[in-house]
């Protein structure tokens, strides 16, 4: 368990909890502990879904600018790939992942949220990619995942202006999936992924792989990828249980295998 990021597990749901007051700034230590927590959540078969949460006051307000301010090109060239890989480890968790966003999700914090499958956002939260105001650009997925999520024109507006996006706009453009009062954010995130805790884990993994992998392919390649994953599920126990339950008109009891 990390000092600033920990993976808490309860009833099949893992919570990757950021805990670096006051703003959960993503310094090198937090970055590497996020990576470690994501890898642990991936490897632990008892974890069937994941919530990424920064606490009641803030999700993550960005990178640690004080740490970055003295870095040279050589320094950042060495670190940038590691930062992207740390958030990429979250994106590659083969289980449903939701960001529970309170307060601010800015810069690297917004990029962390973008690495999740869904975003539950407090009604008073602010999201954005303000890096342009520092003379740089997002470096851990902000130009790529944001454009894929909300479209290139909206992504350019957000990234080039560096402005903050409120919860209502985030919901309207697809940056947020649910908006609730701040006090309800974590509970709503748990409720969103709760149905997956007892679901067919191998089929859920395959569905994520099909969708995420297919986005990087042309249509014909994506269809072939989907077909391959579809056929492979016929080797799983859950496929047999799911079809037997359908024929027998009962609720399936999935084992995750």
pLDDT (0 to 100) of residue 63? 78
DSSP structure class, residue 16: E
Active site residue 128: no
What is the number of H-type helices and E-type strands within the chain? 11, 9
pLDDT (0 to 100) of residue 67? 82
Phi and psi torsions of 180, nearest 5°: -140, 165
pLDDT (0 to 100) of residue 68? 82
Q: Which of 2, 108, 141, 142 is catalytic?
A: 108
Lowest mean pLDDT among 9-23, 44-58, 74-88, 116-130: 74-88
CATH 1.10.12.10 segments of the chain: 200-248
Q: Is the dihedral of CA 231, 236, 242, 245 positive or negative?
A: positive
Q: What is the pLDDT of residues 131-152, one digit of tens each?
A: 999 999 999 999 999 999 999 9
Q: Indicate whether 62 pLDDT > 90.
A: no
Give the number of residues written for the chain: 257
Going by C-alpha positions, the residue among 13, 16, 11 that lies closest to residue 1 is 16
Active site residue 188: no
Lowest mean pLDDT among 75-79, 176-180, 196-200: 75-79
Active site residue 131: yes
pLDDT (0 to 100) of residue 119? 98
Q: Indicate whether 78 pLDDT > 90.
A: no
- Strand arrangement, sheet containing 164-166: 104-106, 126-128, 164-166
Q: Indicate whether 69 pLDDT > 90.
A: no
For 164-218, give the secondary structure using H, E and C: EEEHHHHHHHCCCCEEECHHHHHHHHHHHHHHHHHCCHHHHHHHHHHHHHHCCCC
pLDDT band at 71, cuts 50/70/90? confident
Classified as helix, coil or strand, 247 is helix
Q: What is the pLDDT of residues 1-58, one digit of tens each?
A: 789 999 999 999 999 999 999 999 999 999 999 999 999 999 999 999 999 999 999 9
Q: Which of 131, 170, 201, 226 is catalytic?
A: 131
List b or e across 104-119, with b for residues whose CB sees 16 or more CB atoms inside 10 angstroms. bbbbbbbbbbbbbbbb
pLDDT (0 to 100) of residue 134? 93
Q: Is the dihedral of CA 220, 98, 57, 139 positive or negative?
A: negative
Rounded to whole angstroms, how far apart are CA atoms 87 and 193? 20
Structure tokens at 49: 């879904």
* pTM recorded for the entire structure: 0.94
Q: Which of 40, 111, 188, 226 is catalytic?
A: 111
Classified as helix, coil or strand, 241 is helix
CATH 3.90.226.10 segments of the chain: 5-197
Q: Which of 36, 61, 63, 210 is catalytic?
A: 63
Q: Which CATH number fits domain 200-248: 1.10.12.10, 3.30.450.70, 3.40.50.620, 1.20.59.10?
A: 1.10.12.10
Rounded to whole angstroms, how far apart are CA atoms 211 and 239? 20
Tell me the mean pLDDT in the region 156-173.
Answer: 98
pLDDT (0 to 100) of residue 128? 98
Q: What is the pLDDT of residues 182-237, one digit of tens each?
A: 999 999 999 999 999 999 999 999 999 999 999 989 999 999 999 999 999 999 99
Tell me the mean pLDDT in the region 85-113.
Answer: 97
pLDDT (0 to 100) of residue 65? 83
pLDDT (0 to 100) of residue 79? 82
What is the CB-side half-sphere exposure of residue 177 using CA atoms within 13 A?
17
Question: How does the average pLDDT of the chain come out, rounded?
Answer: 95
List b or e across 167-198, with b for residues whose CB sees 16 or more CB atoms inside 10 angstroms. beebbebebbbbbbebeebbebbbebbeebbb
How far is the CA of 166 from the CAs of 53, 57, 102, 123, 175, in angstroms?
18, 16, 12, 8, 10
List the CATH code of the domain at 5-197: 3.90.226.10
């Amino acid at each position: 368990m990390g000092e600033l990021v920990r993976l808490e597990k309860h009833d099949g749901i893992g919570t990757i909890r950021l805990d670096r007051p006051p703003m959960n700034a993503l310094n090198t230590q937090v970055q590497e502990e996020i990576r470690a927590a994501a890898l642990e959540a991936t490897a632990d078969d008892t974890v069937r879904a994941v919530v990424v949460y920064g606490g009641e006051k803030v999700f993550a307000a960005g990178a640690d600018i004080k740490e970055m301010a003295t870095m040279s090109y050589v320094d950042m060239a060495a670190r940038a790939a590691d930062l992207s890989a740390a958030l990429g480890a979250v994106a590659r968790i083969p289980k449903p992942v939701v960001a529970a966003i309170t307060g601010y999700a800015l810069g690297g914090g917004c990029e962390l949220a973008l690495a999740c499958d869904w975003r539950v956002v407090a009604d008073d939260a602010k999201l954005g990619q303000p890096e342009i105001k520092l003379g740089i650009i997002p470096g851990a997925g902000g130009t790529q995942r944001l454009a894929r999520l909300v479209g290139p024109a909206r992504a350019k507006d957000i990234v080039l202006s560096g402005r903050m996006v409120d919860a209502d706009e985030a919901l309207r453009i697809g940056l947020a999936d649910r908006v609730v009062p701040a006090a309800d954010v974590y509970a709503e995130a748990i409720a969103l992924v709760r149905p997956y805790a007892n679901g067919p884990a191998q089929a859920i993994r395959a569905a994520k792989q099909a969708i995420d992998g297919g986005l990087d392919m042309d249509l014909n390649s994506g269809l072939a990828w989907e077909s391959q994953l579809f056929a492979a599920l016929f080797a799983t126990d859950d496929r047999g249980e799911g079809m037997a339950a359908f024929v027998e008109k009962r609720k399936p009891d999935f084992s995750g295998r």
